[in-house]
Structure 1
Amino acid sequence: MNTKNLSSFFVGLFAMLLVACGDDKKAAQQGAAPPPVYVSVMTVKDTAAVYYEEYPATLAALNEVKLTAQVNGYITGVYFKDGSKVSKGQRLYSIDQQVYGANLQQAIAAQQVQETNLLKAQKDAERYHELDKHDAIAKQQVDYADAALDAAKKQVAASRAAVAAVRANVGFAEIRAPFTGTIGISQVKAGTAVVAGQTVLNTVSTDDPVAVDINVAQQDIFRFTQLQQQKTAANDSTFRLVFGTDVYPYPGHVYLVDRAVDPQTGTIKTRLLFPNKNGMLKAGMNATVRVASSAKTESILIPNKAVTEQLGEYFTYVVGDSSKVAQHKVELGQQIGADVIVKSGLQPGDKIVVEGVQNLRQGAVITTTKPAPPAQQKK
């Protein structure tokens, strides 16, 4: 064998040895199973979960009226302090009454003239009827007297109606509180010209209790109707009002459920009432209403950290035979602190992974025995 052939022989032999070593290494890697993943597990069970459903809410006055001028004129007086409490019937504004007072005197004078005419017509009719008894007057004259009396009565009635209308205008020149409540900031001041039916003077509203409106899904109508009908104890915390992270200290109750469902949204307006003795609540505020669930409802409650999300879907790792885990798709419900309610996907008695989820994959083998520290493993 020459030198060239000998070199080729050794090169081929070396290549075969490399391939053989690579195959042995790959086979060793494929044959060695990965070590079990250390995790913590828990057994799923039913629990009486008390949680809160949340609804966006808007605060409103239970009774609110915009005060509008009913006669034309100039404001001559403002008799309250902006934002103060007012009582029903309390005088709030006055409008110049000079013109309306003069019109009233004129209407009263016209009424008196018509009443005088009525008295004359009545006496004429009585006299003509007396003469008619003795055939001393023509029947036609008697008929004329009766017609004049009837016309005089109608004229008196018309003049009295005119007096009442003018007197009403005089009354409208004073604006009084329609009910007891809180008045806002005045939109006019003394000397401002106002127009009947157009100029808004102010707004009066009640503020204790305060109405809180929420939109409830139609499937919950029966529940809220029941809550409306049952008597509410003073310490009942079924309904709570929340502003950000602050919880209003006083509970509310259902006042009414609207007459019909909105066909576009599938919801129905429900009005709650909350006490407001300290004036903390203001109409127009936005808040959240928390409605406590029934404590008798059995639910599956698991830690949030046991749930993984993939493309908008939620999964948990369930421990099966041979300590292998499998992903189970779950439907989540209300979150309660660090836990979440599972509506479907798990059954009582299932064992799920709680800690170490990030190290798992489908079919992985797990262990709940904590591995020994590296120093002890070398020994």
Structure 2
Amino acid sequence: MKRIMSLLAVPVVMLVLLTACGGDKKPAQQGPPPPTAVAVTEASQGNAAYYDEYPATVTPLNQVEIYPQVSGYITGVFFTEGQVVTKGQKLYEIDQQQYQANYDEAVANVNVALANLNRAQKDADRYQTLAKQDAIARQVVDNAEATLESAKMQVAAARANVARVSTSLKYSTIKAPLTGTIGISQVKLGGAVSPGQTLLNTISADDPIAVDISVDETEISRFVRLQNRKVSDSTFVFVLPDGTPYEASGRIGIIDRAVDPQTGTLKVRLFFNNRQKMLKSGMNGNVRVLNSESGRRLLIPYKAVTEQMSEYFVYVVGDSSKVSQRKVALGNRIGPNVVVRDGLREGEKIVTEGIQKLREGAVVKVVPDSASVAKAAATAPAATSQTR
């Protein structure tokens, strides 16, 4: 019995001893986290010239499609495609044989009618003299006068026919209706054309040239003010399809008379010089309009901004290297930067790198650049523990 009690007492004594040995230890305590490495920059004033962009289409100020006014075959082409032609310059000729023959016949008919008129006039004069002497019946005189009037009408009709056929003859030669650039001919020598149906070519006046944009009805007052300035400067810049700004600045030439009720937009036509012929009708691009808020503005890098629930924030470095989250009101983006309308003061330091690891009141360590931030994050020691 004593032996059994002795064996049971051994584990109890060991448990008491182990408890006594560990009684003075305290749980591990987490030390303060090390400062977070960040890169910072100062909010500073800068030249904030920024533009509003509008889709645009190039259109000529004057353009004419050339159609024939008589039918026939093309017998002559008298221009070089793609070159500038002057008003009145001969462009095409339609076979004139038929129209020339009709004209010659009409002129001959005028001469016949004039001869008949001359004979009728003499007969009427002769009969009038005899009538005064009561040497001829009155009926003969009346018939002579009627014949004279008929001869006069025949002359008038013959001359009208000359005018008609001469017009057709004139229309067989097609001339340029304005000075401008002529396109590629739609017909070749020997081609048959019909009046009002066969498009021969198109001429457009392209210096100056127009660029059309559509603006929202809420911006009408702004563009009316810009039109009244009557100045060609950097306010309007046309961006070519390849993204290159066009060398010449534009000005507002025409503001359309009415707003489109379906889209709520108004067409605005800008005028640009086009001496080098770089702008072509139908070309698409964008028009940049200088924003009225351009000038000296507070700028910060856009990468310093975080968005939460459609609101924008930055981390500002304050006293004791602690950061605080600040709500800001933003303006337009200008390259890598953004305009700050409210929420920051010039000279305040904001975090640009290492934002992901920050929280309100965190202590930071300023390093030179993003590479230093990444290096510091990779080598940061784990939180230390202390035992007592």
Report the alpha carbon displacement of residue 72 of structure 1 after superposing the two structures with TM: 0.5
- CA deviations 1:89-139 (Å, max 9, x no partner) are 111110001111112222223334444555566666667777888899898
Cα distance change of structure 1 residues 264 and 45 upon mapping to structure 2, 3 Å threshold: farther
Cα distance change of structure 1 residues 33 and 176 upon mapping to structure 2, 3 Å threshold: same
Asked if the contact 1:41/1:351 (under 8 Å) is kept, the reply is no
Which residue does the alignment assign to 1:251? 249
Give 2:108's aligned amino acid.
A
Asked if the contact 2:301/2:352 (under 8 Å) is kept, the reply is no
The answer on 1:276 being equivalent to 2:266 is: no
Give 1:354's aligned amino acid.
V
Report the alpha carbon displacement of residue 191 of structure 1 after superposing the two structures with TM: 0.8
Further displaced range: 217-226 or 41-50: 41-50
Give 1:74's aligned amino acid.
Y
Which residue does the alignment assign to 2:386? none
Give 2:287's aligned amino acid.
V
- CA deviations 1:187-220 (Å, max 9, x no partner) are 1111111111111111112222222222222233
Which residue does the alignment assign to 2:206? 207
Q: How does 1:105-124 map to 2 (within 5 A)?
A: 105-119=104-118
Q: For 1:174 and 1:12, locate their aligned partners in 2 and report how far apart those are by CA, in whole Å.
A: 127
Give 2:350's aligned amino acid.
V
Identity %: 47
Q: For 1:222 and 1:247, locate their aligned partners in 2 and report how far apart those are by CA, in whole Å.
A: 26
Cα distance change of structure 1 residues 369 and 161 upon mapping to structure 2, 3 Å threshold: same
How many residues are aligned here? 365
Q: For 1:291 and 1:364, locate their aligned partners in 2 and report how far apart those are by CA, in whole Å.
A: 43
Q: For 2:14 and 2:124, locate their aligned partners in 1 and report how far apart those are by CA, in whole Å.
A: 156
The answer on 1:216 being equivalent to 2:197 is: no
Report the alpha carbon displacement of residue 78 of structure 1 after superposing the two structures with TM: 0.9
Q: For 1:70 and 1:201, locate their aligned partners in 2 and report how far apart those are by CA, in whole Å.
A: 11
SS across alignment from 2:271: strand
Give 2:203's aligned amino acid.
V
Q: For 1:313 and 1:151, locate their aligned partners in 2 and report how far apart those are by CA, in whole Å.
A: 95
Give 1:109's aligned amino acid.
A
Give 1:306's aligned amino acid.
A
Structure 2 length as normaliser, TM-score? 0.75
Report the alpha carbon displacement of residue 367 of structure 1 after superposing the two structures with TM: 3.7
- CA deviations 1:47-92 (Å, max 9, x no partner) are 6622122222222222221111111000001111222221211111
The answer on 1:303 being equivalent to 2:304 is: no
Q: How does 1:26-175 map to 2 (within 5 A)?
A: 28-29=29-30, 34-39=33-38, 49-119=48-118, 153-175=152-174
Identify unmatched segments of 5+ residues in structure 2.
382-388
Cα distance change of structure 1 residues 293 and 13 upon mapping to structure 2, 3 Å threshold: farther
Larger CA Rg, structure 1 vs 2: 2
Further displaced range: 135-144 or 255-264: 135-144
Give the alignment partner of residue 285 of structure 1, picking from 283, 286, 302: 283
